[in-house]
Each structure stands twice: as C-alpha cells, then as structure tokens.
Amino acid sequence: MISSRLSEDKHAKHDLYSFVADHLDDASNETKTNEIWSEALFFFPAGGDTTSTAISALFFYLSRNLDVYNKLADEIRSTFASNAEIQGGPQLASCRYLRAYIDEALRISPPVSGTLWREMYSDNQRSQPFIVDGHVIPPGTQVGVSIYSLHHNEKYFEEPFAFCPERWLVKDDRTLRLMHSAFSPFSLGARGCAGKAMAYLEASLVIAKTLWYFDFEVPPGKLGEAGAGVPGKTNGRDRPGEFQLYDSFGSTHVGPYLTFHPHGDFWRDINAKA
C-alpha cells in the first residue's frame, strides 16, 4: 500500500502523505519509507485505540452513576433544540458539565495509563548534572511517570478513586490549577498529543448525540459486570465502580455492555436518514 502511494504524485490525494511529502523530499527512499511506515503504524493505536478506550470509559461511568447521568442528560437535552444543533462550536462548548464529566473519566481511567519513558541523553555541553527532586539522573537513564499514578495522587486530587465530575467545576482557582498541573491524559508540553482537540470533540459528540437519541443502562447478570473491578481482588482490581484498564502502551479493557432504549421519538430521525 505504501509502495503504491509513493509511486504516485505526492499531492495526488488529500491524505497524510500529501502533508508530509514536502518535508521528506531530502530523505533517501529507504528513510522516507521507514518514516512513513513508523508514522502510519503509530496512528492506529494513537488515533483509534485511545479514543475507543476513552469512549468506553465514558459509557461505563455514565451508566453506573445515576446522578451524573441525569445531570448530563438534562444539560444536553435542554441545551440543544434538535440533533442538527449538536456539532462542534460554541453551543457544544457551553456544556460545562459534559466537559467536566469527560475530564473526570480521563482522569480516573486514562487511555494511556502507563509510563511514557524518556531517556536522559548524553550532553557534553552540560557542566552540571541533571537533577530531579534531589536525584541525579545519569545519561542513558530512562525516566518516566505513570499517568494513572499521577491521576490518583491525593496531593492533587481529593478522594482520587471517587468518580466526581463536580471536582472540575469548583470555583477555587488554586484547587483547579493544582489539579490541572497533574492532569495529563494527553501528556504535557511539546510532546503532548496533537489530536487532543479532536479527541475532546469526538467524545463530546458521541456522548451528546447518544443521550439525545437514547437512554441506556447496565444489563443484569455477568454482562453488566464486565469492565468493573471485583471485590476481593488485589493490585487495585477490587473497586466495582472503576473501569479496569490493562496497560499495553495504550490500554486494553473488557466491556462495558449496555442496554439502549429510544428516547422519545427522536430515534425516528435516524430511520429517516437511513
């Protein structure tokens, strides 16, 4: 597929290659192919797996916290007059509880929950050792922070294992600044996720449109337990109210399974478009 695309004019299609081709003109064919392979393969987990994990977590927490469900459903159904209005823009951005709910789900179950390792490179120009919190970091050392651990640190988040979107709506600026200093589901700084804005838009649209058309709930029996922690388990797997993630660069998961019911007559819009 890549060889076929490289055989065409670099601007023959409006795709990824058309954007990066000009920057690769000075590279050898081998280097060019390797770079495209690397970037293309990275897009699969970065652009798909993380988003699906985040949306799965959103549905898990919404289906298990009835007060949150009711507040969010009321916000969506009172803000918009029709499905056509649910699109990116000021109206969607005005849904503050929706954003708080998304942030809380990303905090408690970050799609990339493990450690993003960085290696301390050798710098011959550095006259002083590199020190972090009193620890000397020698060249060649890999350093990283677990995003999950950071998001569940009581220094930054009160009751860190409680699902509480309201924590993001407090009026105390100092508390908000402290939480945001540790909130890093998309990483931070220059290496932060380039797709952050798109991810927020996707999550907002999926949840808003789903609540516009449907109500949903946890099914009875074993299916309803999928994705939840189990009392008695160890290593943090004992919390039924927490969506369980398994680190593999991104995060894998099981469930959730939900039962959906049409909300009012709005579902007829879907049939009309089919």
- pLDDT of 93-115, one tens digit each? 999 999 999 999 999 999 988 78
Position 167 pLDDT exceeds 70: yes
Strand partners, 217: 259
Spatial separation of the C-alpha atoms in residues 90 and 232, rounded to whole Å: 46
User: Per DSSP, what are the bridge partners of residue 115?
Assistant: 146
Please tell me the distance from the alpha carbon of residue 240 to that of residue 160, in angstroms, as a whole number. Answer: 15
DSSP category for residue 31: H
Binding site members for heme: 193
Contact status, residue 114 vs residue 249, Cβ threshold 8 Å:
yes
Instruction: Please state the rounded mean pLDDT for residues 73-88.
Output: 95
Q: For 60-71, what is each residue's pLDDT tens digit?
A: 999 999 999 999
Contact of 213 with 83, CB cutoff 8 Å: yes
Residues 6+ apart with CB under 8 A from 267: 213, 214
Helix axes 66-79, 196-213, angle to 10 degrees: 90
Count of H helices and E strands in the chain? Answer: 12, 8
Q: What is the pLDDT of residues 238-266, one digit of tens each?
A: 999 999 998 876 788 899 999 999 998 77
- The overall average pLDDT reported for the chain is 86
Q: For residue 122, give the DSSP letter.
A: -
User: Of the candidates 178, 171, 136, which has an alpha carbon nearest to the alpha carbon of residue 157?
Assistant: 178
How many CB atoms sit inside 10 A of residue 253's CB?
A: 19
Higher pLDDT, 67 or 117: 67
In sign, the C-alpha dihedral spanning 167, 63, 84, 203 is: positive
Residues that constitute the known binding site: 193
With 0-12 / 13-18 / 19 or more C-beta atoms within 10 angstroms meaning exposed / middle / buried, residue 223 is: middle
Pick from 175, 151, 172: nearest CA to 163:
151
Considering the domain 51-272 in this protein, what is its CATH number?
1.10.630.10
Residues 13 and 6: beta-carbon distance below 8 Å = no
Using alpha carbons, select from 213, 224, 201 the residue that is nearest to residue 60: 224
For the chain, what are the domain ranges? 51-272
Q: List, for residues 218-229, the tens digit of each pLDDT value.
A: 999 999 999 999
Total number of residues shown for the chain? 274
